[in-house]
Amino acid sequence: MKSFKYLLLPAVSAMIMFSCSHVIDPDDPSHGNRYSAESNFSLSVAAAEMNKLTLNAINGSIKIVGQENSDKVLLSGKKIVRSNNERDAHEYMQNIQVSIAQSGSSLIVTSDQPDDLDGRDVNIDYDIQVPSSWALTVSSYNGGCTFEHVRGDLMSSLTNGNISLSDIRANLYIRVTNGQIAGQVELPYAGSIDAQTTNGLIVIGFPQTTSAQLSAQVTNGTVNVSGLTLKDMYGSQREIHGTLGGGEGSIDLKTVNGNISISGY
C-alpha cells in the first residue's frame, strides 16, 4: 500500500492546497475554549483503478456527494482547533492531520489527532465529491453526515449526530447511537436496507414502486407507514411487517427510543 500525507505520490495523482491557519475569537463566554484556529484544505485525486471511499473521521461534519461520470475525487474541508489560549490554538494545528492512502481499489481518508487533547476541542469537517458509483464506508464519533446522489453500497456508523440521505439508490447499512436517520432512498432490485439507531427517529421515504420485505420495529415509540401498499401486513403500534410489491428486496428499520415514519413518494 502506498500512502501520502500532504504529499504527491505516484500511487495517487493528486494536487493539494492548504491555506495558512488564521485565528478567530468567537467570544463565547459559555465555553472555556474561546479561541479558534482554522486551516482549510483541498485535494484532487484521480479515481482511476479505484471504486471505494473509506472515511475514518472523529469529530466534525461530513458531506459526501456522488458525481455522474466523474474521473476524480475532490476532497476539501476545514481543520479547527479550539483552545483557551490564542497562541496554543494556532500552534496545536500542526498536530491535526488528514492522511490519505490507496489500498487496492480503495481510497482511505483518516482524521489523525492526538488521543489526549488536554482540554482542547478539535474538528475536521469534510466536503467530498466522488464518482456516484463508488461504494462508501464512513465512520465518525461526533458530527452529522450528509449523503447525496449515491449509487454504490453505503455503510455508515455514527455515535453522535444525524444522518441525512438525499437521492440515494443503493444498498444501505447504517448504525447510529444518538441521532436520527432521515431522507429518501430507492432500493436497488433485490437490494437491502438495514438502518438502526438507538436514540433517535427514523424518517424515510421510498418510491411507491419499491419491492421488498419490510420490517420496522421500535422499543419505545411508534411505527407509522403512509403512501405505501403493504401486503400480508401484521404488527402493532411498535412494529410493522409486510410485503411491498413483489418482495424481492429487504428493508429492516429499528430504533430503541424514537419513532419510525415511513412514507411513499
pLDDT in tens, 69-102: 999 999 999 999 999 999 999 999 999 999 999 9
Q: What is the DSSP letter of 21?
A: P
> Over pLDDT 70: what percentage of the chain?
88
Write down the pTM of the prediction: 0.89
Say if residues 212 and 250 touch (Cβ distance below 8 Å).
yes
Q: Give the pLDDT confidence score for residue 32 in this predicted structure.
A: 78
Mean pLDDT of 179-188: 98
pLDDT at position 246 over 80: yes
Burial of 32 from C-beta contacts in 10 A (0-12 / 13-18 / 19+): exposed
Instruction: Report the amino acid identity of residue 32.
Output: G
Round to whole Å and give the CA distance between 170 and 189.
10
**75 membership: H or E segment, kind and range:** strand 72-83
Round to whole Å and give the CA distance between 50 and 246.
35
DSSP string, 124-161: EEEEEEEETT-EEEEEEEES-EEEEEE-S-EEEEEEES
CA angle, corner 131, sides to 202 and 74, nearest 5? 100
Greater model confidence, 18 or 208: 208
CA angle, corner 145, sides to 204 and 140, nearest 5? 125
Say if residues 143 and 59 touch (Cβ distance below 8 Å).
yes
Mean pLDDT of 181-208: 98
φ and ψ at residue 87, rounded to 5 degrees: -65, -40
Say if residues 75 and 158 touch (Cβ distance below 8 Å).
no
Round to whole Å and give the CA distance between 100 and 183.
29
φ and ψ at residue 180, rounded to 5 degrees: -105, 160
Which residues touch 115 (CB under 8 Å, ≥6 apart)? none
Encode pLDDT of 108-141 as tens digits.
999 999 999 999 999 999 999 999 999 999 999 9
Of 8-12, 19-23, 136-140, 211-215, which gets the smallest average pLDDT?
Answer: 8-12
Say if residues 184 and 165 touch (Cβ distance below 8 Å).
yes
Which residues touch 29 (CB under 8 Å, ≥6 apart)? none
